[in-house]
C-alpha cells in the first residue's frame, strides 16, 4: 500500500521522530559504554548452583529451574496470543485450498519424519547442550506449517476439543508441576533435587508439543480441529 | 572498544531504526516490522553484553530466549489485529484521529475522553 502524500505536519513529525530515535540510540550507546567491562551478572551464581538444577546446560537450568516462573508465564503468553488472534479471525475463513502436486507431496513426506526426529533430539539435548522445549517446538511447528502449505490437513480424528486441550496442556502441566512442588519442597517450582531432571523433562516435553501446536495455529490464523463448523454457524447467527 | 561493545552498539543502532519506523511510518505492517527490529536490537544488546566475561552469562541468554517467544506472540497478535482492521475498513495505515466537529462534541459528552 502506498504511503499517503506527506503533508507539512507529516514532515515535521518525521523530523521529530528522527530526533527522538537518534536520542534513544545515543542514550543506549552511552549506557553500553558506561557499563563495566567485566562480567557482573548472575552467571557465576548459575555455574556454582548448576549441580542442583538436574541439567548441565546453564541456559536450560535458568529457563526451566532457576527462573522456571518466567518460562511458565511465557507459555501462558503464547496461549493468550493464540486466544487473541483466534478471537479476531473473520467468520468463515479457512485455509486456501492448495493444488496437490506430486513432487511437493513427496518432498513433504520425506521432510516431515526427519523434522520430528530433529525436534525430539533438540528436546533431549537441551539438558546438556543448547536446545530445549522452545527450539523443539519451533522445529515441530515448522514441519506442521510445511504440511499445511502443501495442502495436507489434520486427520479426521483431530477434533477441536483435542486441539484446545493440547493448546493449554503445556501451561497446565507446568502449573501443576509448580503446585506439586509446594508439598515436596515448600517452594513453587522448586523441584526436588534428586529428581529435578525428570521434572524438567516432563514439563519440557509437554510444553514443546503445546508450543508447536500454538505456533502452527498462530500461522494458520484459525482453528484446525474438526467439528467447529457447526458451532461457528450457530455462534454467528 | 571490545567486540562485545561493538555488537551492543550495533544493537543500539537497530533499536533506534526500529523506533523511528514505529513513530514515522503510517503503514501498520511497517510499524510491526519496526517493533520487531527494536526487539532484535534489544536481544543483540543483551546477548553481546552477556559475552563480556570469560564464559558467557547464561541469565541474559535465557532472557533473550524468553523474549523471542514473547516477541513472536506479540507479532502474531498484532498481525491478527491488522488483518481484522483491514477487513473491516480496507485500510492498512494509521491516521491521526481527527476530533469530531464542535456541534457533535456538545451533544455527546462521552467523546470528550477520546479527544485528549
Q: How confident is the model at residue A149 (pLDDT cuts 50, 70, 90)?
A: confident
Provide the grid cell at B34: 519496526
Averaged pLDDT for residues B80-84: 90
Which range has the worst mean pLDDT, A89-98, A109-118, A151-160? A89-98
Q: Which residue is closest to B26 within chain A, CA to CA? A: A3
Tell me the backbone φ, ψ of residue B27, rounded to 5 degrees.
-70, 125
Q: How confident is the model at residue A37 (pLDDT cuts 50, 70, 90)?
A: confident
Specify the pLDDT at position B115. 43
Q: Do B26 and A21 touch (CB under 8 A)?
A: no
Q: Do A41 and B25 touch (CB under 8 A)?
A: no
Averaged pLDDT for residues B14-24: 92
**DSSP code, position A188:** T
Provide the grid cell at B40: 532484535
Beta carbons of B60 and B42 less than 8 angstroms apart: no
Q: Do A4 and B24 touch (CB under 8 A)?
A: no
Q: What CA–CA distance (Å, rounded) separates B60 from B46?
A: 6
- B104 touching A, CB under 8 A? no
Q: How confident is the model at residue B107 (pLDDT cuts 50, 70, 90)?
A: low
Q: Do B59 and A28 touch (CB under 8 A)?
A: no
Q: Do A88 and B93 touch (CB under 8 A)?
A: no
Q: Which residue has the higher pLDDT, A36 or A164?
A: A164
To the nearest whole number, what is the mean pLDDT of chain A? 83
In this complex, the residue of A37, A90, A132 whose CB is nearest that of residue B2 is A37
Q: What CA–CA distance (Å, rounded) separates A222 from A234?
A: 17
Min Cα separation A103/chain B (Å): 31
Can you tell me whether residue B27 is helix, strand or coil? strand
pTM for the model stands at 0.82
Q: Sort out which chain B residues have CB atoms less than 8 A from A221's CB and list them.
A: 80, 83
- B68 touching A, CB under 8 A? yes
Q: Do B26 and A4 touch (CB under 8 A)?
A: yes
Percent of chain A predicted with pLDDT > 90: 31
Can you tell me whether residue A232 is helix, strand or coil? helix
Specify the pLDDT at position A6. 57
Q: How confident is the model at residue A237 (pLDDT cuts 50, 70, 90)?
A: very low
Q: Is the pLDDT of residue B22 over 60?
A: yes
Q: Sort out which chain B residues have CB atoms less than 8 A from A46's CB and list them.
A: 57-59
Which range has the worst mean pLDDT, A8-22, A92-106, A125-139, B102-116? B102-116
Q: First vs last Cα of chain A: how many Å apart?
A: 34
Q: Taking phi first (over 0 means left), then psi (-120 to 50 degrees means alpha), and beta for anything else, what does residue A131 get?
A: left
Report the complex ipTM.
Answer: 0.81
Which range has the worst mean pLDDT, A60-69, A180-189, B84-93, B97-106? B97-106
Provide the grid cell at B41: 536490537
Q: What CA–CA distance (Å, rounded) separates A169 from A173?
A: 6
- B85 touching A, CB under 8 A? no
From residue B70, how far is each of A62, A217, B74, B84 by CA, in Å?
A: 17, 16, 6, 21
To the nearest whole number, what is the mean pLDDT of chain B? 83
Amino acid at each position: 500500500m502506498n504511503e499517503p502524500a506527506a503533508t507539512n505536519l507529516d514532515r515535521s513529525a518525521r523530523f521529530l521522530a528522527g530526533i527522538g530515535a537518534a536520542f534513544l540510540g545515543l542514550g543506549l550507546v552511552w549506557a553500553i559504554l558506561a557499563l563495566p567491562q567485566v562480567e557482573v551478572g548472575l552467571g557465576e551464581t548459575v555455574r556454582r548452583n548448576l549441580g542442583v538444577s538436574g541439567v548441565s546446560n546453564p541456559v536450560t537450568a535458568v529457563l526451566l529451574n532457576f527462573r522456571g516462573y518466567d518460562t511458565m508465564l511465557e507459555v501462558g503468553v503464547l496461549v493468550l496470543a493464540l486466544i487473541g488472534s483466534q478471537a479476531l479471525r473473520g467468520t468463515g475463513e479457512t485455509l486456501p485450498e492448495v493444488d496437490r502436486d506430486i513432487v511437493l507431496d513427496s518432498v513433504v513426506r520425506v521432510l516431515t519424519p526427519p523434522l520430528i526426529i530433529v525436534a525430539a533430539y533438540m528436546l533431549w539435548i537441551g539438558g546438556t547442550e543448547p536446545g530445549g522445549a522452545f527450539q523443539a517446538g519451533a522445529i515441530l511447528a515448522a514441519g506442521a506449517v510445511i504440511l499445511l502449505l502443501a495442502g495436507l490437513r489434520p486427520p479426521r480424528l483431530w477434533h477441536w476439543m483435542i486441539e484446545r486441550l493440547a493448546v493449554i496442556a503445556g501451561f497446565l502441566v507446568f502449573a501443576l508441576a509448580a503446585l506439586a512442588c509446594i508439598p515436596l519442597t515448600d517452594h513453587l517450582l522448586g523441584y526436588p533435587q534428586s529428581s529435578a531432571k525428570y521434572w524438567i523433562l516432563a514439563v519440557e516435553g509437554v510444553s514443546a508439543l503445546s508450543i508447536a501446536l500454538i505456533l502452527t495455529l498462530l500461522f494458520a490464523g484459525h482453528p484446525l480441529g474438526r467439528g467447529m463448523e457447526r458451532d461457528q454457524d450457530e455462534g454467528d447467527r | 572498544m571490545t567486540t562485545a561493545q561493538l555488537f551492543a552498539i550495533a544493537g543500539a543502532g537497530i533499536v533506534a531504526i526500529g523506533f523511528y519506523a514505529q513513530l514515522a511510518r503510517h503503514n501498520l505492517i511497517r510499524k510491526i516490522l519496526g517493533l520487531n527490529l527494536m526487539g532484535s536490537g534489544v536481544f543483540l544488546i543483551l546477548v553481546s553484553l552477556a559475552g563480556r566475561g570469560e564464559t558467557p552469562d547464561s541469565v541474559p541468554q535465557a532472557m533473550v530466549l524468553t523474549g523471542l517467544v514473547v516477541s513472536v506472540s506479540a507479532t502474531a497478535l498484532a498481525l491478527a489485529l491488522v488483518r481484522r482492521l483491514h477487513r473491516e475498513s480496507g485500510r492498512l495505515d494509521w491516521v491521526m484521529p481527527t476530533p469530531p466537529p464542535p456541534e457533535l462534541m456538545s451533544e455527546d459528552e462521552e467523546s470528550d475522553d477520546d479527544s485528549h
